[in-house]
Homo-oligomer: A and B are copies of this chain.
Amino acid sequence: MDITWSNFKKQLPVVCQAIAEADFLAIDGEFSGISDGPSFTTLTNSLDTPEERYEKLKAHSMEFLLFQFGLCTFKYDDVKAKYIIKSFNFYIFPRPFNRNSPDKKFVCQSSSIDFLANQGFDFNKVFRDGIPYLNQEEERLLRDQQEEKRYHTNGASTTCYMYISPDASRAPVVPVIPDDQKDFIDKIVYQRKLIYQTMNWKFPRGTHVETVESPNNERRMIITKVDEDERKNKEIQKKVKEQEDLNNAVGFSRVIQAISSSSKLVVGHNMMLDIMHTIHQFYCQLPNDLEEFKSLTNCVFPRVLDTKLMASTQPFKAIISHTVLAELEKRLQMPPFNPPKVESAEGFPSYDTAVGQLHEAGYDAYITGLCFITMADYLGSFLSPPQTHVSVQSDVISPFFNKLFLMRITDIPYLNLDGPDLLPTRDNVLHVTFPKEWKASDLYQLFSAFGKIQVSWIDDTSAFVTLTQTDQVQIAVNISRFAESYCVQKYAEYVAKKDRQSLSKRKRTDDGWMDFERKRTKTQYKYVPM
């Protein structure tokens, strides 16, 4: 079911109910860019630590917009012995909901846009009718702003307040008034002040002031002469209206909040970026520290499962050669697998996997859920007695919980959200620095004496070189001592050095960050007397 801003409010209860009754939820996001491809491939390294990988994804992917979010809810019907699914395809866009809303910027990557365009992606639906959203900080600020406005408009103060958008620099906007218009403006300002003063004096606490904004951002002020009861009534109405405005502005974030507070199992395919983007866009800025990110993810999504990681792990690894979503789905239709029966709930359009609508987020979420239950049921066949249906509570699934697949890292298959990550010794790995002019062939030549090697570039003057035999490592280091043009050290030494550097650097960065945060909180959404 496509959900845009036009039907969002009407369908939100349907979405919430589907989440509430589900056994588990499958999700998928489509982005305006992914920084994958050649540039990202060279940026990431097959010997990245989980910390490094997280930092790189955070630095290079969060600028993109998650503009389509797929949610497919799965509920097992014991009587029918099949899953009943409800699939939603949300179009998302940070449409400014009024003149005060943050004016967000996002990056598009032409290859990603072109890819989606070729899949028939409807950009008009996103940009013309996307659902707006706020993160928690923005929601809080908007709430504060409403309260402050209420206090000043109908309270004792007659000061007029101007909103400064969060993008704005910290100085208040003082418009340029041409010389020939200055007298005119002075007069207007003076008259405005007179009107307010007279109003307060003539009708002490007996007027209701309201600013009405039309859809095309034109503003009118409505002043009504009221008695105390009427005034209170109007106040209540206004509060209700403001609450509604706030809800509208929070928009799609309410779906993520519903998923989060349901604590249901959330299944995704290669879902690290989906999770990072979802938190970044609808909750808060991502922390710098990986451990903090893990805690945060545990709060937002207490239980997740990555089908790419599951398919890459035994017993599946031995029988599944390709784990790209479309290929995985095809493979799981063949023996020894036996996809369980799935039926769309009444009123929900059914997907046809034979035709496929791959890269529509709702469909991808559906396929992901399908892959999950097929693999789960396969695990059930090893139980005694064998089970044809495995529930999400089953112990056979729990080993896969809270582990996110890590793309292209040789010896760390996943990020462990529930504790420390795997720490391979990498004692057959050398860290090599060399002149900028060196090419891959120079490295292969240099280490040719040590048999087959594997080169993982860090930048244009350094790389990791993995030797086949660990006992050659010391020899390579010893030989390098006679060299002047290049420098070789063991992986462990390199990491120790780097940790010491990053510790002192992090200290500085944290301070800088706190300083920035302090400024930001103080100055954003600031009210400035005119």
Residues of A within 8 A of B (CB): 32-33, 37-39, 41-43, 46, 65, 93-96, 103-111, 113-114, 116-117, 122-124, 126-128, 164-165, 167-174, 176-177, 182, 186, 408, 410, 439-441, 452, 454-460, 463, 523, 528-529
Contacts and interface: CB of A to CB of B under 8 A. Distances in A.
A167 to B, nearest CB: 4
Given A168-B38, A171-B460, A96 B123 contact: no
Given A93-B110, A124-B124, A171-B457, 4 more contacts: A41-B168, A96-B110, A169-B457, A439-B529
A46 B171 CA distance: 13
A122 to B, nearest CB: 7
A241 B107 CA distance: 34
A359 to B, nearest CB: 14
Contacts of A116: 127
A95 B114 contact: yes
A435 B170 CA distance: 13
15 contacts: A38-B164, A39-B167, A41-B173, A42-B173, A93-B113, A103-B111, A116-B127, A122-B124, A123-B127, A171-B463, A174-B457, A186-B452, A439-B528, A440-B528, A460-B523
Contacts of A122: 124
Contacts of A95: 110, 114
Contact of A107 (B105, B186, B441): B105
Contacts of A93: 110, 113-114
A94 B110 contact: yes
A contact face: mostly helix, strand, loop, or mixed: mixed
Contact of A39 (B126, B165, B410): B165
B96 A104 contact: no
Contacts of A169: 39, 42-43, 457, 459-460
Contacts of A41: 168, 173
A108 B110 contact: no
Nearest to A458: B171
A46 B176 contact: yes
Nearest to A102: B110
B103 A176 contact: no
Contact of A410 (B110, B124, B176, B459): B176
Contact of A123 (B114, B123, B528): B123
Contact of A172 (B165, B186, B457): B457
A429 B528 CA distance: 24
Contacts of A452: 182, 186
Given A43-B169, A440-B172, A108 B108 contact: yes
A438 to B, nearest CB: 10
A174 B33 contact: no
A176 B111 contact: no
Nearest to A93: B110
A523 B436 CA distance: 10
A42 B169 CA distance: 6
Nearest to A164: B38
Contacts of A94: 110
A168 B457 contact: no
Contacts of A106: 107-108, 110
Contact of A114 (B96, B164, B410): B96
Contact of A529 (B39, B103, B105, B441): B441
Nearest to A444: B174
A468 to B, nearest CB: 9
Contacts of A42: 164, 168-173
Contacts of A111: 96, 103
A441 B455 CA distance: 63
A105 B110 contact: yes
Contacts of A171: 42, 457-460, 463
Most chain B CB inside 10 Å of its own CB: which residue of A32, A95, A109, A110:
A110
Contacts of A109: 103-105
A105 B167 CA distance: 21
A149 to B, nearest CB: 17
Contacts of A523: 460
